[in-house]
Amino acid sequence: MLVSATYLRDSAEMSADPLSDILKLTNAESLVTGGFTAGGPWAIRFPAPTTIKFFAVVRGHCWASIDGEQAPVRFGEGDVGLMAAPRSFVLASEPGVVPVDAMTLFSPAGKSTAQLGDGNEFAHIGGHVLLDVKSGLLLANVLPAWIRIDAAKTHAATFRWLLDQLVGERADDQPGARLASAHLAQLLFIQILRAHMETAAVMPPGWFRAMSDRRLAPAMALMHDEPARSWHLEELADACAMSRTTFALRFRTAAGVAPLTYLAEWRMRLAERALREDKSPVSLIAQSIGYASESAFSNAFKRMTGHSPRDYRNSASLSGTSSAAE
């Protein structure tokens, strides 16, 4: 398939929505994997996750003791937690209860649900987010080790509705329940990201922080909507109603790089995806992301990734073949 000038955006239905672009690029896929109910004193130790893990308290409350944190964190009904770092943690009715190992609780016969005690006081639902092996770090690396979203203060109605729907889909076992649960889990993950964007007191510089800055949103949207366009700093600053100097400083503070450097890096992300997934000539991929010549693109690609486009494509192809063989 040959790449048109708008393939990299339109083939993935990309529009002026940078967060959606990132989620599509990283192939973020959220899945509900299980849950449990509990009553009386209880505690469960979960192993360090190998993927981004999320959980929600559907009924009651619990305490989360996360490795590396000094004190347990209380999660109330409707609160949602997200674990992005490989840290083990304990969920318990109260701090100090001796935990059982989650692997022994859920592993027998591939169980996805469990009950501790009478199960009348607490209900939990959990899942994880799968990311592309190659591009997934773009998302995983900007998230904090863990996030707690207080449903009583942030997007409360939306979280409540999503959790009610998730519980209903899993309980009723209606036709299409698996797909419906997956879509609801995806919405839950997006809602967690949105809430974190709006409420996080401090974020490290990066694309996530830049997208959280509403003053910079017009420039981010323009660059993502037309990545192949030769944007000038003045145009981006005007879109944000700022002077060139003010815009450049604010963008660098938020993103950690200059605006046009961010654009160049995003182009390379798109190029990497095209080289992995599409068989078009390198020259057409170069044109699609705004480079006048294949040599200019190849030099920029190698400078940013350490590999030539052809070497990158060959390596990705061999990796895919190896994965398929396994």
d(CA 312, CA 326): 21
Which CATH number do you get for residue 62? 2.60.120.280
How would DSSP label each residue in 74-122? EE-TT-EEEE-SS--EEEESSTTPPPEEHHHHHTGGG--EEEETTS-SE
Q: How far apart are CA 25 and CA 93, in angstroms?
A: 39
Q: What is the reported pLDDT for 323?
A: 45
- pLDDT at position 202 is 83
Assess whether 187 and 285 both reside in one domain.
no
Q: Hey, what amino acid is at 137?
A: L
The reply to whether 8 falls in a domain is: no
pLDDT band at 112 (very low <50, low <70, confident <90, very high): confident
Q: How many CB atoms lie within 10 A of CB 98?
A: 10
Q: Assign 10 a pLDDT band (cuts: 50, 70, 90).
A: very low
Question: What was the pLDDT predicted at 110?
Answer: 58
According to the model, what pLDDT value does residue 105 have?
A: 86
Mean pLDDT of 274-285: 91
Are residues 156 and 126 part of one domain? yes
- Contact criterion met (CB below 8 Å) for 125 and 38: no
Identify whether residues 195 and 213 lie together within a single domain: no
Q: Of the candidates 143, 174, 199, which is a domain's last residue?
A: 199
Q: Report if residue 13 sits inside a domain.
A: no
Within-domain flag for 15: no
Q: Is the pLDDT of residue 86 over 80?
A: yes
* 43, 190: one domain: yes
Both 53 and 171 in one domain: the answer is yes
Confidence of residue 5 (pLDDT cuts 50, 70, 90): very low
SS3 62: strand
At 209 the pLDDT is 95
Q: What is the pLDDT of residues 202-214, one digit of tens each?
A: 899 999 999 999 9
Is residue 235's pLDDT more than 50?
yes
In a domain, 169, yes or no: yes
Residue 30 falls inside a structural domain: yes
Whether residues 50 and 175 share a domain: the answer is yes
The pLDDT of 9-22, averaged and rounded, is 67
Cβ 157 vs Cβ 190: under 8 Å: no
User: Domain residues for 320?
Assistant: 208-325
Same domain, 186 and 224: no
**What confidence category does residue 2 fall into, taking pLDDT thresholds of 50, 70 and 90?**
very low
Higher pLDDT, 22 or 201: 22
In a domain, 91, yes or no: yes
Residue 127 corresponds to which tokens in the numbers above?
């899942």
**What is the rounded distance in angstroms from the CA atom of residue 84 to the CA atom of residue 142?**
9
Average confidence score pLDDT of the chain: 89
Q: How many CB atoms are closer than 10 A to CB 97?
A: 15
Check whether 272 has a pLDDT greater than 50: yes
Given 199, 231, 253, which residue is the final one in a domain? 199
Instruction: Please indicate, yes or no, if residue 48 is contained in any of the structural domains.
Output: yes
Q: Is residue 34 part of a domain?
A: yes
Identify the pLDDT of residue 320. Answer: 57
- Mean pLDDT over 129-152 rounds to 91
For 11, phi and psi rounded to 5 degrees?
-65, -25
- End of a domain among 199, 234, 265? 199
Instruction: Indicate if 68 and 96 belong to the same structural domain.
Output: yes
The string of pLDDT tens digits covering residues 152-201 is: 877 788 888 999 999 888 877 789 988 999 999 999 999 999 999 988 88
Q: Are residues 34 and 124 in the same domain?
A: yes
Spatial contact of 256 and 265, defined as CB atoms under 8 Å apart: no
- Claim to verify: residue 44 and residue 112 sit in the same structural domain: yes
pLDDT of residue 33 exceeding 80: yes
- What CATH number should be reported for the domain holding residue 213? 1.10.10.60
Distances (CA, A) of 245 to 238, 252, 254, 255, 289: 11, 11, 14, 15, 26
Q: What span, in angstroms and rounded, lies between the C-alpha atoms of 34 and 214?
A: 36
Lowest-pLDDT choice from 149-153, 194-198, 231-235: 149-153
Same domain, 244 and 151: no
Q: Look at the chain and report how many structural domains it folds into.
A: 2
Task: Look at residue 325 in the predicted model and tell me its pLDDT.
Answer: 42
pLDDT at 3 over 50: no
33 shares its domain with 159: yes
